[in-house]
Amino acid sequence: MNLDLSQLTHWRREFHRFPEIGWSEFWTTARIADYLESLGCFEILMGKQIINPDFVRGRKQAVVDNGLVKAKAYGMNEKWLDKMEGYTGCVAVFDSGKPGKTVALRFDIDCVNVTETRIPTHIPNTEGFASINDGFMHACGHDAHITIGLGTALWIARNKDKLSGKVKIVFQPAEEGVRGAAAIAASGVIDDADYFAGSHISFCANSGTVISNPKNFLSTSKIDIRYHGKPAHAGAAPHLGRNALLAAAHAVTQLQGIARHGEGMSRINVGVLKAGEGRNVIPAEAELQLEVRGENKTINEYMTEQVMQIAKGISVSFDVSYETEVVGEAVDMNNDEELVQLVEEIALQQPQIHSVNADYAFNASEDATVLGRRVQEHGGKAIYFILGADRSAGHHEAEFDFDETQLLTGVNIYSGLLQRLLE
């Protein structure tokens, strides 16, 4: 049975009004769970059922607390809070009760720190569904992703008797900053998946097109290093201080000088250095925020290990204590040919799709790869594709909006995949 676009548009517009930043998607998660529960055929997993706390990246408690206060003010269904255990996101499990494959689908749910434009020609303004959360906006299209996930869930509910096996729909928190996927992967919740699929709307692709096999996903780790020294009078007793700023400064030059890997491209950028309190005080605190990237996981791991060595070595040389924190990560991933073929076939059956483009260099990072790789490492197959949609501005810009008719195309592709894999 076909879904109608008006239901999808309604969902998208509702989620667009209440954007929440990574790890604070309490209203969003509760709303998704309410819808899923109303469908009556899903088990809803949350909290530590889907999050391994040891692999949670870049989650700031103040942001979480602030998000929860707002979510309650928006009228979230608070019955879900106990089950969430402080963590956002959920996984909907459909079990047909019949033997068959397990398919995991992933949709990210967070917004970005952008204030939505007030210009009157912007459709969310004319239609009255602009963000009510100042400084936050669904400016990357993850409201579309949530909607396509829910639309696919609705399709499952309407076609459940025809399906075999299982479907696990992952509504992932904190994609921005590549923070959320690692904790879900490490929970093991999709380790039994035979197939994995994820996608992004728009980017480089217009309405009517699908990029079935984007390449060059960069592996990356986002790392913070903090040095803790000891303050002292800079004139009278510098020898009694321990200089965290100096340690950090030396760290920067050593980090940028890491010997490059011979087997492929690598990158490093120390983007932030914060240190010191006053001109006449030996600086006791310093923080570096950096990222490394690599053409593949091995090279990125090499870069990350070198960063950790330098962080440690510097702490010894300057007699300061230190800590490192991985605040985000993504890996490279190659799509499996079987799924590329399948997505192409299904896409071309959609009347609104006129072209499928296999080759496109992504040259960026996306943490769906962490989940896709996890499935591949357990013997399953994975794909990440791009669903074309015309847009009014670049991703992460205040004027960003997209062609809502492609929501239906998205649901049709995912439901087409389930039909082929599970019927």
Instruction: State how far the Cα of 14 lies from the Cα of 75, in Å rounded to an integer.
Output: 13
Residues 6 or more apart in contact with residue 88 via CB below 8 angstroms: 20, 23, 24, 25, 26, 28, 29, 109, 173, 174
Q: Is 333 in the site for Zn ion (CB under 5 A)?
A: no
Q: Is 407 in the site for Zn ion (CB under 5 A)?
A: no
Task: Please report how close the Cβ of residue 239 comes to Zn ion at its closest, in angstroms.
Answer: 51
Complex with Zn ion: residue 68 or 146, whichever CB lies closer:
146
Task: Please report how close the Cβ of residue 261 comes to Zn ion at its closest, in angstroms.
Answer: 28
Task: Please report how close the Cβ of residue 94 comes to Zn ion at its closest, in angstroms.
Answer: 25
Residue 54 burial class via C-beta count within 10 angstroms: exposed 0-12, middle 13-18, buried 19 and up? exposed
Complex with Zn ion: residue 140 or 311, whichever CB lies closer:
140
Complex with Zn ion: residue 112 or 232, whichever CB lies closer:
112
Q: Is 140 in the site for Zn ion (CB under 5 A)?
A: yes
Could you tell me if 366 and 329 are in contact, meaning their C-beta atoms sit under 8 angstroms apart? Answer: no
Task: Please report how close the Cβ of residue 132 comes to Zn ion at its closest, in angstroms.
Answer: 21
The residues in 256-295 that bind Zn ion, with binding defined as CB under 5 A, are none
Q: Which stretch binds Zn ion (CB under 5 A): 124-132, 140-148, 161-169, 221-229?
A: 140-148
CA 92 to chain centre: 17
Could you tell me if 320 and 260 are in contact, meaning their C-beta atoms sit under 8 angstroms apart? Answer: no
Which strands, in side-by-side order, build the sheet including 219-228?
Answer: 266-275, 285-294, 219-228, 321-330
Q: Is 299 in the site for Zn ion (CB under 5 A)?
A: no
Q: Which stretch binds Zn ion (CB under 5 A): 47-55, 97-105, 121-129, 136-144?
A: 136-144
How many positions of this chain bind Zn ion (CB under 5 A)? 1
Could you tell me if 334 and 297 are in contact, meaning their C-beta atoms sit under 8 angstroms apart? Answer: no
Task: Please report how close the Cβ of residue 23 comes to Zn ion at its closest, in angstroms.
Answer: 16
Complex with Zn ion: residue 258 or 393, whichever CB lies closer:
393
Q: Is 111 in the site for Zn ion (CB under 5 A)?
A: no
Q: Is 303 in the site for Zn ion (CB under 5 A)?
A: no
Task: Please report how close the Cβ of residue 184 comes to Zn ion at its closest, in angstroms.
Answer: 16
Complex with Zn ion: residue 168 or 391, whichever CB lies closer:
391
The residues in 10-29 that bind Zn ion, with binding defined as CB under 5 A, are none
Q: Which stretch binds Zn ion (CB under 5 A): 137-145, 290-298, 323-331, 341-349?
A: 137-145
Of 255, 7, 243, 38, nearest in space to 147 by CA: 7
Residues 6 or more apart in contact with residue 177 via CB below 8 angstroms: 22, 57, 58, 222, 327, 328
Instruction: State how far the Cα of 89 lies from the Cα of 22, in Å rounded to an integer.
Output: 10
Complex with Zn ion: residue 315 or 409, whichever CB lies closer:
409
Complex with Zn ion: residue 245 or 331, whichever CB lies closer:
331
Q: Which stretch binds Zn ion (CB under 5 A): 40-48, 134-142, 153-161, 301-309?
A: 134-142
Complex with Zn ion: residue 270 or 386, whichever CB lies closer:
386
Q: Which stretch binds Zn ion (CB under 5 A): 3-11, 17-25, 70-78, 135-143?
A: 135-143
Complex with Zn ion: residue 232 or 330, whichever CB lies closer:
330
Of 285, 358, 367, 306, nearest in space to 106 by CA: 367
The residue ranges that bind Zn ion (CB under 5 A) are 140
